[in-house]
Structure formats: C-alpha cells, structure tokens
Structure 1
Amino acid sequence: MQERIFKVLEFNKVKEQLLEHVSSALGRRKAEQLMPSVDFEEVVRWQEETDEAVKVLRIKGNVPLGGIYNIRPHVKRSIIGGMLSPQELTQVASTVHASRQIKRFIDDFDIENEDLSILKTYTDQIIVLADLETTINNAIDDNGEVLDSASETLKSLRNQLRTKENRVREKLESMIRSSNAQKMLSDAIITIRNDRFVIPVKQEYKSHYGGIIHDQSSSGQTLFIEPQAIVQLNNELQGIRVKEQQEIERILIELSSKVAEFSTELETIVDVLAELDFMFAKARYSKRIKASKPKVNNEGRIALFKARHPLIPEDVVVANDISLGKDFSTIVITGPNTGGKTVTIKTVGLCTLMAQSGLQVPALDGSEVAVFDAVYADIGDEQSIEQSLSTFSSHMVNIVDILNKVDFNSLVLFDELGAGTDPQEGAALAISILDTVYKRGARVIATTHYPELKAYGYNREGVINASVEFDIDTLSPTYKLLIGVPGRSNAFEISKRLGLNEEVINTARTYISADSNQVENMIAQLEESRRQAEAEREEANDLLRSAEKLHKDLQKQMVEFYEQKDAMHEKAAEKAEAIIDQAKAEAEKVIRDLRKMRIEKSAEIKEHELIEAKKRLEEATPKIKKTKKPASSKAAHVLKPGDEVKVLSFGQKGILLDKSSDKEWQVQIGILKMKVHVKDLEFINSPKPIETKPVATVKGKDFHVSLELDLRGERYENALHRVEKYIDDALLAAYPRVSIIHGKGTGALRQGVQEYLKNHRAVKKIRFGEAGEGGTGVTVVEFK
C-alpha cells in the first residue's frame, strides 16, 4: 500500500498510540515496523494472536513482561569471543528470567476454559536457561558489580585489598593526628588521587612529608602529597588492584563464553519475547479504545456496528453502523459541510488498515472487515472557503493515480469528489469517476456536495445514498450516518430559523427547479418515514420488554409455586410419618398387653378382651381423608391433542399438546408448557371440528424444545434474551441436561452466557463440551 495512505488516514497516529503500550525495545521495534498485510491467512492469524492476548489481559489483568532487553548485540559479540561488560551480562540474565516468568505464566494459565494455542506455541519454543541465569547472578549483582563470591581468587584478592587499605589509612591517620598536622595540613582528611591515598599539605610544608606530589588545588596553596612513608604500601595496594582487575576480566570472559554456548537458545528467546511483547501491546491498545475482534473475509464485505474513530475522544465521538459490499458496493454520502462525512470515510479506511495489521477495531462484537489488496483515498481539507485551481489539480492528480491502479479488490475513499471547479462540470466528472471505479468492481465510499449525485444511487444497481443527520431544531449536525437517505441542503430551514424574511425564502424557492424541489420533498418524506419507523421500533421494544418482564414474573411465580408445593409435600410426609410412628407404638403396646394377659391368665382370654384389643388396633391405624372428585360424565372421555382440560393442582385451564408417556400429557397453559399426570387432568370439552378443513394436531416445531441452543452469529443482548427463554422452556420440558452453542470467538458471549447460568437458581452445574461435543465452543448445562 502507498505510504501516503497511512498519513491521509492517520494510521501513523494509531501506531504512535500503540507504542505507548509496549514493554521493551523489542516490542517497540515491531510496533514501529507494523504494516497492513494483504495476505488473508496472515491477517486471520494476526487477529487470532491479538485475541488470545486480549483474553489473557481480560482474565489476569496484567502479564509479566518486565526486565526484557534487546540482547542480540551481546550474544553476537560473545560468539566472536568478545568480553561482555557486567551490565550486559546482567541484561542477559534479566531477559532469561523474564522468559522463564512468561513461560510459567502461560503454562499455568487455565487453558481448559480458554484456547491459548498460539501463545502456547510461542512459549513452548522458550528453553529455560535457569543455570545460566543463576551463574550470572551469583557473579554479578543488580548494579553491575562483580561479587566477591564470583571466584575464590577474587575473594582472596579483595580481602588483601581491604587489609592493605586499612594499613595505609591507619598510617595516614597517625600523620594527620600529630601535633604539627593542624599547622601543616590544609584539612585533616585522607583523600585519593590517581588511585593512591594522599593528604592535603600546605605549599610551604611540602618538604616536611617528602614523597610524591599527585595534584594541587586551583589556588596552588594546597598540594596533594603521597608521603614517602606510604609509597611502598600504595605500590603494594596498586599491585593487588591490577590482579583484581585481571581476575574480574577472566570471570567476565568465562561468563561471556557461557552466553556464547547458549547463543541459539538466547536468540530464540529474544524472538519469542519480541512477538509476545508486541501481541500484548496490541491487546492493551485494544482495551484502551474498547475494540473487538472483527470477522475477516476476502469477499469485500464490510459491516461495522457502532464503529468509532479511534483518534477522537470517547466522550466526543459518535458511533455509526456502516455496511458495504453485500447488497451494494458503492455509498454516496451527500449533505452540507461539518456534518461528519469525512470522519465517516476515515473511520472505514482506518478500521480496514487496523484489521489488516492485526489490530482489533473500535466497534461492537460481530463486526466484519474485508482484506483488500489496496486502500486508496483522496481526502483533503475541503472545509476552507477558498477553492482554487491548484486544489482541484491536486485532487485530480490523486484521482488519476487511483484510476490507473484500482481493481476489484480495492477500497476507494473519495472526499468531496469533483470539488474545486464549476459545479456542473464537477458533478459530471464525479459521476463519470464513480462509474469507472464501480465497473472495476472496487468498494467505494464517496462524499459530495453536488445534488446531482443524490439521484446517482437511485439510477444504478449496487449503489446507495447516505447522509449525515442534521437536527433542524438545534441547527447542528448529529454526526449520525443514515444509509439509504440522501442528504438535504437544509439551507431554507436554517435561514428561516435564523430569522431570514419568509418572503425572501419563498422567492429563493422559485429559483429552484421543479426536479430539485421534488428530490428535496422526497428526502424530507424519507426522513419523516425513518423517524416514524424508529419511533414504532422503540414502541415495539418497549412492548417486548414488558412481555419479557411479565414472562419473568410468571416464571418466578411458577418457581415459588413449586417450592411451596414441595414444602407442603415434605410437611405432609413428616406428619404422616409421625402418625405412622404413633400407630406403630400403639400397636406394639396392644401386643405387649395381649402377651401379658396370656401369661397371667394362662391363655384363658375372654372373647370380650380380644374384641377390645382388636378395637384398640383399629383405632391405632391412621385415617387419611381423601378429597372426593365430583362424578362427571366427562370422566370417561378419552383424552386427545387439542382437548381443553383443567389442571386440578393449579386450578387453571389449558390445551393438550401431545402425550409424553402413558401417564403424562404436555399441556399449554397460557404462554407456559408443562408435563402433567393424567390423574391431575379433568376433561372440559373438545374443539369443534371444521368440515372444510380438518383440525391439525397441535404438534410441530413451534412447540418442540430442542436439546441444543445455537447462539452463533447473535448479538450479545439478543443472545442473553434467547438463553433466558430457552432455559425456561427446557425446565418446563423437564430436561435434565441441555447444550448451548456459543462458539469461541472473542469469548465475550461465552463469558456472558456462563455468568447468567452460574446465577440461575435452577442450574446445578455447567461445563464445557467434551472433544466430541464441541469443546470450548459449547457449554453443557445440568439442572437440579
């Protein structure tokens, strides 16, 4: 794609915002090199990568990507035998540690619930170099200083060094504490010059201490002298320092050779960390602009829902639905200036470039973008009053270049097509240019002032008019895109509201041709029809919400009824158990008495005593009162689908739908369907047969509850409404288990569905489908 397009559509500003979210120089370099791809498979893979990173950020909030450095130059220098500095070795250890952290983070992630196959593929390439990291950290501290523990030799030399330094300091301190020191020294301190210990001596007393002069003050009054008495000690100290430095170099060379041993693994670690940093930078940017993963196609279809320009502040930008490439391939946006036409076409172009670069787009879930071979744009600052030949010439140079290159797999954006010249000629040129691009099969969005182009969309198949809404009451644009409605000039209405004399306006109307008036009137009627349709849709939505609320209330009442019924059954069972226990106790007492009587009276038991005992046993038997059903001639009726019946336990009338088993029927009571035992049904009457047309059995698809609910392709809100209704139907159908197919996608729909199911009182357990059931694209629900 042309470099000019990135500047015109402000793609470079998007990259600047993306750079704010990288964690290392590795990620920054990849972000700076970001370019849209024209390879469909590559774009799909990039989108999947970004989506996996978004999933991780959504669940974990952050990712351990600190401490990463570009160690490629260090590794290359170690390979050729170079000695790495302590700071460079520390950066190697830090990068190895970071790779180990991110590998463990991804490996420990709950991949049972989230598909992170791409991230796993990257982290599987990381070889854990814990030994190299430990070796470097044991030799060098965080500040880049070589530790005493790096080797026994270094430890011994540094112990010698400290001992010698203490001897030198002791000897010098004895000098500066002497009685003459206050007179001969500028200050009673010990300092260092040229790595040797010295004392500050006044100029006139330099011969008293002898030794070597290393420096003097700016005034020349003080000399920094190494007294003769400590010259030998300083020489010994310097010799130890040389040995220390040699040992440090030996240690650094040894560590550098270890880095060279693992050069291949380290280069792989750097490459993987660069990819991961870049992926999570895109994910953080997606979160910042509230973007979503778009569906990607190579068929030229664009469908953006509530799309926003990513560079306009969230509290200012207006979201629009924009579609192109399915029912029509060209959109002509007409209307006055400052209405938002340019922002609209820039939004489409920028979202396309972002999607083809692996970035998510600032639009709702379910949005779709196409992979184009090229995006062309002729967009200039046409908001100025000045229009000159140079402006028109500049536009025509761009348009000529576009016409020479455009093909069927191109997206073309024209802003104020034909502007900057005579209106009649400009309109004719605009129509001709649009025809040429349309015949090439490209996808086109063009904005224009010319009223002649309002008729263009009506005269050509695959072309549609659009406009940006203007509020006459407030005399300001709403920036809302109206596809299918051409723009009105609104000049007369605005002038009238601003106080222009109506006679002047009426005179102006006479200068407008009849055709133009008819077009304006038609547009006005379209706008009125649209407003009416929106009002009716809102009213329908209100009714739908009321119906859903009523349905929820009924469901709640049904649940309460069943809970109350279960409680009553439980209470009755407890009461019956108590009565039976009491009867058993009484029976046992009677038996004990009979045995006692038999023993006491030697089996000579009188008849009246047996009769009395039998009566006591009969009295111990619990009596259950049974509700008698009124006898009816209808009781003998053989039930069949379509019969009107009364559900005795509810006291409600219903219609028989279908026989579930030998002893159960499915009954429709209002909007509810339930299974009822045949003993709980009382026949009322049968529907009267119609001679001309036999009554159809109340069966079929409309009354069948499937064991699966497919939500793929649904909008988030609609999907949750469908889940709510489906769960109610499944409960009434007494299903023990159902499946909800939501697909994998961005995971937002799956998370919403599972959150709803977790909070549902009737749901016992939810899980993902097994390998043969659809995996993480399916949630299996088990009821209590």
Structure 2
Amino acid sequence: MQQTNEKTIIQKLDLDGYIQQFKQFFARDKSVAMMGDINQHFRYIKALSNVQFPAPAPVPNLDRELNLLKKQAVLSLEEIHAFVTMISYFNTLKTVSFPEPVASWIQGIEVHEEIIEILGYFTEEGDINPERDPELYKLERAIRQNKTDIKETLYKLAHSSKLRDYLVDTQVHFNGGEETLLVRGGFNNAIKATVVARSSGGFFYILPQSISHLKEKESALLSNKEELIYRYCKSISATFFKWERFLAYINKEYDRFDHYQARVMFARAKEYEFILPGKQKRIKLQDFAHPAIEDPVPVTINLDRQIMLITGVNAGGKTMLLKSMLSAVYMSKYLLPFKCDASKTEVGHYKSIEAVIDDPQSVKNDISTFAGRMQEFAKLFGKEDAIVGVDEIELGTDSDEAASLFRVMLDELRKKGITFIVTTHHKRLASLMASDDEVELIAALYDEERRVPTYTFLQGSIGKSYAFETAQRYGVPVGIVNRAKQVYGEDKENLNELIERSTSLEREMRQKIAKVDEELKAVEKQKQRLEEEEAKLKEAHRKAIATLENRYNAATKKAREALKAKESTEGRRLLNIAHQRKDFKQKEIRKVQEEPLKEGDKVKYRSHKGELLSIRGKDATIIVDGLKMRVPLSQLKRRGDTSQIKMPQKPKEAKVNVEKSGASVSVKLIGMYGDEAIDTVDKFLSDALVNGLSEVQIIHGTGGGVLSKLVTDYLKRHPKIQKFYRMPGNLGITVVEL
C-alpha cells in the first residue's frame, strides 16, 4: 500500500522520470526510501561525497537465496557468486581512505577466514578458478582440446574435394549451439551427416558423422565438469549455511551502501545538492529547479506559514510552483539531491505528502468533480503533520459557496498540523483569507508589455487571472474577447485593475528596496575600503616619522662624538638649535593630528571641567557640575591624554599586526593547578584582546568541577568580557565572547 501511494505521489508531482534516472545508479533495484535515522544517513552521504570510490557491481536481490540457505538448500554457482561479489566489494572498500563515520563502518565489517577462502575459488567472471583444482584444470584442458579437434575436422571437410560441389561456403556455422556446415541438396551422395536445420534459402545445416564421437566426448566432459561444479556448490552452500546470519547482514549493508553511493553518484552526475529536512515546518527555496523542466525559471520562494494561497495569471506556473514545493519536500524527505542553492534552502520534515491535483471525476464510479474533491478532503481529517497541495481548489462548484466552505475546512485542518499549498482563481477565497496571519499570499506575475507570463512570483499579493489576455494569446479573436469584457462588467474589471495595480506597486516597492539595499552594500564596501586606506596611510606616516627620527638621532649621535673629539662652541650651539627644531616639529605633528571634539568627550572650559553634550556650528553645549552651558567651541580643550591621537601608541598598533597570527582561539587547562590555570587564562585573554579576537574557548574539562568553578568566578570579574556560556553538548568547554 505504501509503495502504491509513493508511486502515485511521484506521478502527480512529475517526478517519475527523475526517479527512473536516479534508480539507474543502484546496483540492484529497490525503493528509494531508506529506513533508520535520516540524520545518520545524511552524515554518511556527506562523508562519501568528499572521496572517490569504486562503484558496486550489479547484484540481484538475494532474499530468496537467504531463505533457501536457512533450509540447507544447495545454491547455484551464479547465486553463490552474487554473495561473493558483495563480500569482495566490501574488502575492496577497506583499501579506500574514507572519512568518518564511513571509515569505522567499513573497517568494522570483519569477514571470517572460511568465507575469505571461498572468495579465492572464483574468477572475476564468476567461474570456479581451475588453477585451484587439478581435476577441474584437466577437464578444462580436455574440453578446449576437443573443441579444437572439432573445428579442425570441420575445416578439413570444408576444404575436401569430394564435398566441394555441395558446399555453400567454407565457413563453420553455429546453429542451435552446434558447429555445422552449410550445404546444398544431394550432399548425402558425398558425406554422411545429420541435418540440424534448414536455412531460409533452402540450404541445409549438417553435422558430419565423422565428428559425432567428438561431440559425444564433449558432452561427457561437460557432464563431468557440471558434476564437479555441483560438488563445489554443495560444499560452499554448507559453509554459507553456517554463516547465514553474516550473509544476511552483508546483504543488508550492501543495500545500505548502495543507497548512499547511488545518491552521491547521481548528485555528482547532475551537479545536484542535498538538503537535510529541518524540524521547523517551513519551506525556503532558493534557485530551485524542478527536474522535470528542461529549461526552468529558478524558483525562489519562502513559506513559513501554514497556508500558501497562489493566485494570478492562467498558465503562469501556479501548478508547477505547487509541484516544485511538494517535490522539494519529497526529495529532501528521502535525501534525494536536486538543483538549488543549498546554502539558502531550507525544507521542513513532514510525516506525509498529499497532492490533490487531478480531476477526480469518474463515469465508472458515478462521481462528480466536486464530490471527488470532497472525498479527498474528507480523508485529510484523519491525517496529522502533513503537507497538502491542492490545485484549483474551486474546481467543480459555485465559487462563492466553495470559498466559504474551503475557508472553514482549511481553518479546521490546519489545527491538525497540516500545511496547505493552494492554487485558486477565487478572488473571494483570497479576500476571505488575506487578513489571516497564517496565510501567505502569492501572485503569479504577468508581463503586460509582452503579454506573456513571467513564471515568477510575488509574495504578499493577490494576482489577476488575465483570462481575457490568455484567451487572446492562444488565438481567440479580439472581437470576441472585447465582447466578453463588456459582459464581464466594468465594476469587476475595475476590481481586477485595482488588484493588478496593488501588485505592481508592491513589486516596484520591493525592487526599489532591493536597489537601495545594493547601494547601501556598495557604500559599506566603499567605507570599509576608505577606512583600510586611512589605516595604511597612518601606518606609513608613523613609519616615516620613526625613520626620520632614527636618522636624526643617529646624526646627532655622530655629531656629539665629533664634538667630544674636538670641542667647539659653535658646534654645541648648532646642536642645540637642531634639538629645538625637532621638538617644534613634534608639536606641529601632534597639533595637525589632533582629533576634532565630538559628543561625549571630556572637556575643559577655562578652569572648569565638564562633558560635551552637543555641537551646533561654532558653539557647543557642555555640562559642568550639573549645569548646562553654551560656549564657543574654539575655547574647549579635551581633558587628559585623550586630547590628541596617541602617537606613542602607534607602535602598539603595529605590534598587534605582527603578533595577530600567533593568537590562539582556545586554551587547554586540563591537568593544571588552580593558580596556574588562572594565570594561563589571564594571559590567554590578554593575548586574545590584543589580537582583536571576538570569541574564544577555554577547555577545562568536567572532572570534579574545580577548574570549571575557578574559571567561572574569574570570568565574572573580568571587565572586558561581554558574556560566557558552556558549549552545548560539551560542558567541559566554556565559550567566551570578548
């Protein structure tokens, strides 16, 4: 029953071609569903995606053979070789350097020596290796020699003079598995032979009696070989009976690996991505492409509410959007890869997927379209935690009555945790549900200039159907369309224009927002570039000043040494002038580099100390001893060491740049004494702050909890720590945000 439902949903979502392509990568046919923990399956698939490995050989389903082994039956050579193929493949995989957790899984499959010995019996073609058995070796040689004798005898007969007039050609023909000659009628006058068959041209395929003894010998040799092979099959089957549980395990693990490798190989071949279903009931698709469409317009859509109502232009892709969203849920549910931007795509996990898409009308069952729809909706009341797609929800009945009925049913069904994706042309249903916070409105867009659908969608709007435009596009005469518009009525047309206008306005608004966002990003990038350039210039200026100062100091040092050697009053005077000019230059540099005052700075006005509150033009408002004062900005000075850019601190900035690469993001305290651990943490946090790190980890272990408590007490007192917390799932690590 489950397989039937699975086939039905695959067909309804147009995924049958996709599934057939995927199944070609299986080593043996099976359902696409995998039993077990989906998160574990995902880890194995991602691990396999990062390494190259040999593809498994095709193997038939062996459930029947395992049941025969339980009854101590004798398997055929082909059936035994199927088990040998699986075991040999796992032995081959052990030579591949797999990442975890695949490596532990493959290396953990141990094969007993009795089974390994059986593997050596077989050739790659699946036959018993004659090199391992002298009797089989002799039989193989005898069979080959006998075949050679038959061919040589036939060759001689084909070139003999007495048979030349009756031969159609001199070739040896295989007919019914027998080597024969092709001759004309009357051949019995020249040779004794048995007719094997007659050709379409009226000629005869004959088996000369002169090789009949060779054929009898061949038959006896083959019979002996079959008897010998049967003894091997009997012996191996007896051994397999002992290891039946191991073979059942290998059979199961082969299927499991087959599931993984088929998905990995399929994803590589198609350049598809894997999406692991999340716990939240939401669907967020980014650049999704339905595999059934050859040249699709990528779908980007977000559903984080319980009901999505899709309206808009006819033949504009509403149904395909519905199928795309359900297909994404189906493929992620079974970890089947598909085309999308995986970094921005999220798909929730739903217990079941239902598609109410086809017209349920049936003459055989005497059921109308609407009655069939009601039957399908009635079944939904017995389901929970499902996602349901309904195409053309108003199908088969009065639109106003249907709008009220479906509004109530959708409200009731969503209480059972059911998520709906609905397409409709009912403006009444859309207007009834538009105010609901749990309803997401989607409009299929139409290009008015080119008069064609765009196959794109706008969230938050009700779309116009464009029935008249669609009819005209598909060949309905313009006069008929115009008359239909008159019958439709001016008021309803105005309503459509209003809907269309609101959709256009929202689309324009979103385009403008997107444009502003792009411009803002460009400004941010330009700002970052200018800040980096400013930092580079400041660093270059600092280095230039330092170089000049070093040169000056070196020059004055040499001058002093020269004066010591030969005392000169004039030289002393010139040296003092140089020192004065150096001090004057330093003051000029500090004055040029002084930062302008800004709000919040600590300032000094005459003999008063206060804080700068605001600046307006050439005046500033300050607060001194609780009193606000408005004073000339030029008469304010910055208090303390903050009045200038701290030139001596520039080397510290350079020091940070040098040592940044050496900073560590984690420190290990396990095994340390209390005082030693706190000293280590203190130095570690200082280095992290100097190097500009925003988040670090302290590894103290769990143990008795002493180190953990000491670290916690220390971090609570540290002035530079924003917050800290234990790492989820590992209480032995504390994460610190600086």
- TM-score by shorter chain over 0.5: yes
Query: Could you tell me which of 110, 119, 142 is aligned with 1:127?
Result: 110
Q: Establish whether residue 528 from structure 1 lines up as the match of residue 509 from structure 2.
A: no
State yes or no: 1:393 paired with 2:371: yes
Q: Is the 8 A contact 1:127 1:269 kept in 2?
A: no
Query: Match of 2:18?
Result: 17
- The amino acid that maps onto 1:313 is I
Count of equivalent residues: 610
Q: Does 1:225 align with 2:158?
A: no
Amino acid at match of 2:110: I
Instruction: From 343, 357, 379, give the equivalent of 1:379.
Output: 357
SS at match of 1:454: helix
Within 1, Cα distance between the matches of 2:372 and 2:414?
22
Once superposed, what is the RMSD of the aligned Cα atoms? 6.1
Question: Which residue matches 2:706?
Answer: none
2:95 match: 104
Whether the aligned pair in 2 keeps the contact of 1:467 and 1:487 (CA below 8 Å) is: yes
Q: Is the 8 A contact 1:294 1:360 kept in 2?
A: no
| Correspondence for 2:673 | none
Contact 1:335 / 1:449 at 8 angstroms: preserved in 2? yes
- Residues 101 and 562 (structure 1 numbering): CA distance in 2 closer, same or farther, change over 3 Å? farther
Correspondence for 2:646: none
Instruction: Measure, in 1, the Cα distance between the counterparts of 2:6 and 2:103.
Output: 36
| Residues 454-469 of structure 1 mapped to structure 2, 5 A cutoff | 454-469=430-445
- State which of 319, 334, 342 in structure 2 corresponds to 1:342: 319
Residues 1:545 and 2:522 aligned together = yes
Q: 107, 126, 131: which one pairs with 1:149? A: 131
Distance 1:734 1:506, change over 3 A: same
Structure 1 counterpart of 2:307: 330
Cα-to-partner distance string for 1:248-275 (whole Å, 9 max, x where unaligned): 4434433444444443333222211211
Give 1:730-769 correspondences, 5 Å limit. Answer: 734=660, 736-737=662-663
Unaligned 5+ segments in structure 1 are 207-211, 383-387, 588-610, 636-644, 659-685, 699-727, 741-761, 778-784
8 Å CA contact retained: 2:468, 2:481: no
Query: Structure 2: how far apart are the matches of 1:739 and 1:176?
Result: 90
Q: Is the contact between residue 84 and residue 252 of structure 1 (CA under 8 Å) also seen in structure 2?
A: yes
CA contact (8 A) 1:8 1:379 kept: no
Aligned-pair CA distance for 1:490? 5.3
Asked whether the 8 Å contact 2:283–2:348 carries over to 1, the reply is no
**Superposed displacement of residue 471, structure 1:** 2.3
Given the alignment, which residue of 429, 435, 439 partners 1:453? 429
The answer to whether structure 1 residue 410 and structure 2 residue 386 are counterparts is yes
Q: Distance in 2 between matches of 1:192 and 1:520?
A: 80
Are residues 289 and 430 of structure 1, via their aligned partners in 2, closer, same or farther at CA, if it must alter by over 3 Å? Answer: farther
Residue of 274, 298, 304 corresponding to 1:318: 298
2:283 match: secondary structure:
strand
Q: For residues 570 and 198 of structure 1, what CA distance do their matches in structure 2 show?
A: 103
User: Equivalent residue of 1:535, what SS?
Assistant: helix
Show the counterpart of 2:458. Answer: 482
Rounded to whole Å, the distance in 1 between the matches of 2:585 and 2:515 is 51
Q: Give the drift of 1:221.
A: 12
SS of the residue corresponding to residue 339 of structure 1 reads coil
* Partners of 2:149 and 2:127 in 1: CA distance: 25
Q: Deviations over 1:40-83 (max 9, x none)?
A: xx5xx3254135414532x3356543455545555555565555
Q: TM-score, normalised by structure 2?
A: 0.63
The residue that corresponds to 2:676 in the other structure is: none
Q: Does 1:512 align with 2:491?
A: yes
- State which of 399, 404, 409 in structure 2 corresponds to 1:433: 409
What is the CA deviation profile of residues 640-669 of structure 1, one whole-angstrom value per residue up to 9, with x for unaligned ones? xxxxx9598xx68488999xxxxxxxxxxx
Whether the 8 Å contact between 1:333 and 1:446 is mirrored in structure 2 is: yes
Q: How far apart are residue 367 of structure 1 and its match?
A: 3.5
One-letter code aligned to 2:125: N
Provide the C-alpha distance between the structure 1 equivalents of 2:339 and 2:171, rounded to a whole number of angstroms: 68
Tell me the CA shift for residue 213 of structure 1.
7.1
Deviations 1:2-39 (A, max 9, x none): 856863563675365234334776552132xx38x9xx
Aligned equivalents of 1:389 and 1:196: distance in 2?
A: 63
Rounded Cα–Cα distance in structure 1 between residues aligned with 2:375 and 2:23? 39
> In the superposition, relative to structure 1, how do residues 560 and 546 fare at CA in structure 2: closer, same or farther (>3 Å)?
same
Percent of pairs with identical residues: 15
**Cα distance change on mapping 1:262 and 1:451 into 2, 3 Å:** same
- For residue 348 of structure 2, the aligned residue among 370, 392, 415 is 370
The 1:22/1:549 distance shift into structure 2, 3 A limit, reads: farther
Take 1:466 and 1:495, find their aligned partners in 2: how far apart are those partners?
A: 23
Partner of 2:41: 49
Instruction: Output one character per residue of 1:695-727: Cα deviation in whole Å (capped at 9) or x when no partner.
Output: 9999xxxxxxxxxxxxxxxxxxxxxxxxxxxxx
Which one-letter code corresponds to 1:123 in the other structure? I
Structure 2 letter corresponding to 1:150: R
* CA distance in 2 between partners of 1:7 and 1:425 (Å): 30
Which SS does the other structure have where 1:449 is aligned? coil
Give the match for residue 710 of structure 1: none
Distance 1:289 1:563 in 2: 48
Give the superposition deviation at 1:343.
Answer: 2.0
Instruction: Compute the displacement of 1:448 (Å).
Output: 2.0
CA contact (8 A) 1:83 1:252 kept: yes
Q: 2:283 aligns with which of 281, 303, 309?
A: 303
* Between 501-510 and 245-254, the greater mean CA deviation after superposition: 501-510
Q: Which amino acid aligns with 1:28?
A: D
Structure 1 residues 6-15 or 308-317, which shifts more? 6-15
Distance 1:11 1:96 in 2: 39
2:51 maps to which of 47, 50, 60? 60
Measured in 1, the distance between the counterparts of 2:158 and 2:354 equals: 85
Correspondence for 1:715 = none
The CA deviation string for residues 511-558 of structure 1, in whole angstroms up to 9 with x for no partner, is 417xx8578537624531441242133133123124314524653675
- Which AA in structure 1 matches 2:511? E
Of the two structures, which has the highest relative contact order with CA contacts closer than 8 Å and spacing of 6 or more? 1
Measured against aligned partners, the alpha-carbon deviations of 1:398-437 in whole angstroms (never above 9, x if no partner) come to 23443x4355x33333322223333333333333433443
2:15 aligns to what SS in structure 1? helix
1:205 to 1:518, Cα distance in 2 relative to 1, 3 A: closer
Comparing 686-695 and 252-261, the one that deviates more: 686-695
Task: Tell me: CA distance 1:380–1:76, structure 2 relative to 1, closer, same or farther (3 Å).
Answer: closer
The answer (yes or no) to whether the contact 1:466–1:482 under 8 Å persists in 2 is yes
Q: Return closer, same or farther for 1:446/1:502 CA change in 2, 3 Å cut-off.
A: closer
Aligned partners of 1:238 and 1:373: how far apart in 2?
A: 62
Aligned-residue offset at 1:277:
1.2
TM-superposed deviation, 1:334: 2.6
**Structure 1 residues 612, 555: CA separation in 2 closer, same or farther (over 3 Å shift)?**
closer
Per the alignment, residue 447 of structure 2 pairs with 471
Aligned to 2:669: none
1:356 aligned residue (318, 333, 355): 333
**Could you tell me which amino acid in structure 1 is paired with residue 622 of structure 2?**
P
**Change over 3 Å in CA distance of 1:508–1:734 after alignment to 2:** farther
Distance in 1 (CA, whole Å) between partners of 2:375 and 2:313 is 25
Query: Partners of 1:507 and 1:165 in 2: how far apart?
Result: 91
1:665 is matched with none
